[in-house]
Amino acid sequence: MSGLEVNKPRACILGVGGTELSNWEKGFFREATPYGFILFARNVEDRNQVRALTKSLRDVVGNINIPIFVDQEGGRVMRLKPPHWRKIPAAGVFGDLFDTKPDDAREAAYINARLMAMDLRDAGFNTACAPVLDLRFPGMSDVVGDRSYGADVGKVVMLASAVAAGLLDGGIAPVIKHIPGHGRASVDSHKDLPVVSASHADLTRLDFAPFMQMKDVLAAMSAHLLFTAIDDQRPGTVSPTIINDVIRGEIGFENLLISDDLSMEALGGSIASRTHECLQAGCDVALHCNGKRTEMEEVVSMTPILSGNALSRAQAFTNQIASFKTDTPSASQLTDWRMRLADLLASVWKAEDTAK
């Protein structure tokens, strides 16, 4: 059992301040009962430390299947890094390989995700905020850049599907992002609000298309972008029009919708108001990442206990986590995968290559 039936969680995912839980955090998390936790580089030192931290998060809420998220994409976005973990290529590397050897690229993407899943499981994670389904548009902010598999919808879907399959086979639940599409961001949404002026027709044909084709993935993360052709007042995360008409309606995504980080500067107002607005707009769960005490208190004050459709979607995602088998690949299997991956990527990337 996931634990949700016994103790319904609150509609938020919270960060952690450091490399171990403070006494205040233990009491706060126990009382707040968040739906999940998310860890960042500040929370990660080495294998033993992060394993102890993820265990303590499970222990403090009394739920072995509570979702523990991490942004582990590869390239610039890696929370588990060398020297303790394998260096992982960015999504764009697989996109480069796909242009000449599509079958090799899909196999490489799957193997890489399978290896990544093993590292994540070993560290105590059960969820990865990956793959990225955003398209890569020329001239846009590098906030997406080589985190994207490319500019072509078919390429992105084929590679992202391979990644999702590799994660699932390795016992890690994928979260697709950033729905309905972040590729046209002209500024970094961590620092400012990107305004997208593309027509609704162009957004449907390109940006939304990968999410339509992967709408069966059980969780997605929203995009803090203002789509002026659809709602010129509110960014996607806090827009009922974007969430109800586009994400739920046009794209047809019916699973767990998680906000992107509410502490990003793309959103205005207080943390409390951002929390309230994203949930009112139709996000199922509010994500807050920085681990700051006063902000987390605001988030919790504005988040209800999960109920209705949001609870059902959250339950489905947690049940997926609970269903994972924890078989560890043999040493010979791991060696075979690593050698095969190195061979497949040899023409476009090497682990010691710092340029990519």
Residue 179 to residue 90: CA distance in whole angstroms: 20
- Cα 122 → chain centroid: 19
Instruction: Give Cβ neighbours of residue 137 (< 8 Å, ≥ 6 apart).
Output: 151, 183, 184
Tokens 């046209």: give the residue.
Answer: 184
Residue 120 to residue 13: CA distance in whole angstroms: 18
Total residues belonging to the chain: 356
Q: Side chain identity at 52, as an amino acid letter?
A: A
Residue 214 to residue 141: CA distance in whole angstroms: 24
Q: Could you give the residue numbers annotated as active site?
A: 190, 260
Task: Write phi, then psi, for 331 (nearest 5 degrees).
Answer: -60, -40
